[in-house]
Amino acid sequence: MRFTWLGWVTIAVIVALIGGAVWWQKSRRPATEAAPSPGAPAAPTTASSDSSCTGILGRPLRVGIVTWPGYAGGIVANNGFKPNQDSIYYRNHNLCVEFMLMEDVDARAKAFARGGKDGVDVVWSTVDFWANELPGFLKNDVTAKAIMQVDWSRGGDAIVADNSIKRIEDLYQKKISLALFTPSHWLLEYSLQNSSLDESKQSEIVKGLVGKNASPDARADFVANKVDAAVVWEPDVQEALQKRSNSHILVSSKEARKLIADLMVAREDFIRAHPDVIRAFVEGWVVEGTEKANREPDTVVRLLMENEPLYKSLGADETKKNLATVKWADLADNAEMFNLDDKDQQPLFDRIFSQAGQSWVRRGYITATVTPAVAKDDQFLREIYKKTPVERILDTAQKPSAEVATKAPIVVKPITVNFASSSAVLNSAAQRVIDEQVALLSKTFSGAYIRVEGNTDNTGNADANRKLSQRRAQAVIDYLVSRHHLPANQFVAVGNGPDHPVASNDTAEGKAKNRRTDINVVAR
């Protein structure tokens, strides 16, 4: 699990005294925006410290994490949770590190706000959650920065649903259970925003969400047939499917394999005071620890079971299966996330962070966004990359079968790409639409096929329109491949011409709606 939401209890009790609002309205913002006080008590679960291990900081670096297999690079670099001298961190960097399980997000926020030897210096987040959480920290004069990516979720987060729900659009007027503001919540929100559901229907879905404390609670609702779908993470995904018949995974981070990324974030004052510590922490994790974790998965299993109660209870075989639901981020992953090689117009971090922030503002969870530049400090990654540059690992896809051209999508995003009459040439305005509305969707859903369908109204020759719409769909794909470095095999072009109208062609308004490009996300 990522974390439990015990911090909600305090907010719910306070607002209950005021009265009058439904649960969702009471909980519009995460507990972390509720002014964490540096002096407030926190109760992290921690391994006992080895007082003989001090290193360059003069004490162990204190790092707050949650139960999740994605932090293996750091845990392996430290040879467990406790500060010790038999570790990559100490041997190679003279750094002592202490990992602490902090499942209560409210206690985590308070410990991070306090900092130092009585709090924590570094904590986990995800790109989407950081966009939600950082405004609250800044409001309370706690400045902090993301310093590295540590993993990608690769199937660990999912929306499970009744078999009658075939695509995201089918969630309209259905009951959905989830732990709010978790990375899995972002999977749902992102899928809704990239669907054909209009804003009013999306808002109706969001307002009807059944908020829970954690993933097991959402899974329990689904298994008991109290809801039609649940947003959960492993091991609750498989348990939900096993215990509720006629259910399936609607969409997961297996398809959206570049959407949910775990980060480590550090207080800005700590970064300024101890740049050597942060540099050692980053390099030991993303270069050395991650490499060893990938080489020795059995070591990862042993360390997780020795230090985290959930994995001890799951046993070695199940713990090892859990490892497949994440991809530990190395320097190549960080090169793409933070654009260390300057290949992209905009870093992937900036694009996901900005969209998440705008989403949370739209839903009323936060009041204002934070710019990506304020949210990150990639100087240490850039220093390491300059010293040991690596090539990005390009996305790949098998050539799609003929079935992909007609297979039912899991998400459909209609957009308007304007072309000159009888032309399939993209002008600058059309390219801008693709940059803003299609490129990130294609990148984040890199584990799925993207079917681009061109559609026309009924004006002119139908066969000619089909051929023209095919060329226009291919023009969109060619631009995505050349400008955004996406694999050609990820895409399929289909020219529907006038064959799939969404409105009547008897009015000018209806014809305008039919002249569209549909971006279909198709599971592999």
Read off the pLDDT of residues 200-252 as tens digits, 9 standing for 90 and up: 999 999 999 999 988 999 999 999 999 999 999 988 999 999 999 999 999 99
What pLDDT was estimated at residue 513? 85
Q: What is the DSSP string of 256-313?
A: STTT-EEEEEEEHHHHHH-HHHHHHHHHIIIIIIHHHHHH-HHHHHHHHHHH-HHHHH
What pLDDT was estimated at residue 106? 85
What pLDDT was estimated at residue 235? 86
What's the pLDDT band for 44 if we cut at 50, 70, 90?
very low
What gap in Å lies between CA 37 and CA 523, rounded to an integer? Answer: 45
222: left (phi over 0), alpha (psi -120 to 50) or beta: alpha
What gap in Å lies between CA 281 and CA 97, rounded to an integer? Answer: 8
3-state secondary structure of 455: strand
What pLDDT was estimated at residue 32? 35
Q: Global pTM?
A: 0.88
Residues near 502 by beta carbon (within 8 Å), at least 6 away in sequence: 414, 513, 514, 516
What DSSP designation does 55 have? B
**274-301 pLDDT, tens digit each:** 999 999 999 999 999 999 999 999 999 9
Q: What are phi and psi of 308, to 5 degrees?
A: -125, 120
What pLDDT was estimated at residue 2? 56
Q: Which residues pair with 507 in a beta bridge?
A: none
What gap in Å lies between CA 510 and CA 507, rounded to an integer? Answer: 5
Asked whether the predicted pLDDT for residue 17 surpasses 50, the reply is no
What pLDDT was estimated at residue 50? 59
Percentages helix, strand, coil for the chain (3-state, rounded to 5) are 45, 20, 35
What pLDDT was estimated at residue 221? 98
User: Minimum mean pLDDT among 80-94, 374-388, 408-422: which range?
Assistant: 408-422
Higher pLDDT, 149 or 103: 149
**321-369 pLDDT, tens digit each:** 999 999 999 999 999 999 999 999 899 999 999 999 999 999 999 999 9
Average the pLDDT over 168-180 and give the result: 97
**462-519 pLDDT, tens digit each:** 999 999 999 999 999 999 999 999 999 999 999 999 999 989 999 999 888 888 999 9
What's the pLDDT band for 47 if we cut at 50, 70, 90?
very low
Asked whether the predicted pLDDT for residue 173 surpasses 90, the reply is yes
To the nearest whole percent, how much of the chain has pLDDT over 70? 90
What pLDDT was estimated at residue 10? 30
Asked whether the predicted pLDDT for residue 43 surpasses 70, the reply is no
3-state secondary structure of 326: strand
What's the pLDDT band for 11 if we cut at 50, 70, 90?
very low
Identify the structural domains of the chain with CATH numbers, from first to last: 7-153+259-387 (3.40.190.10), 157-252 (3.40.190.10), 402-523 (3.30.1330.60)
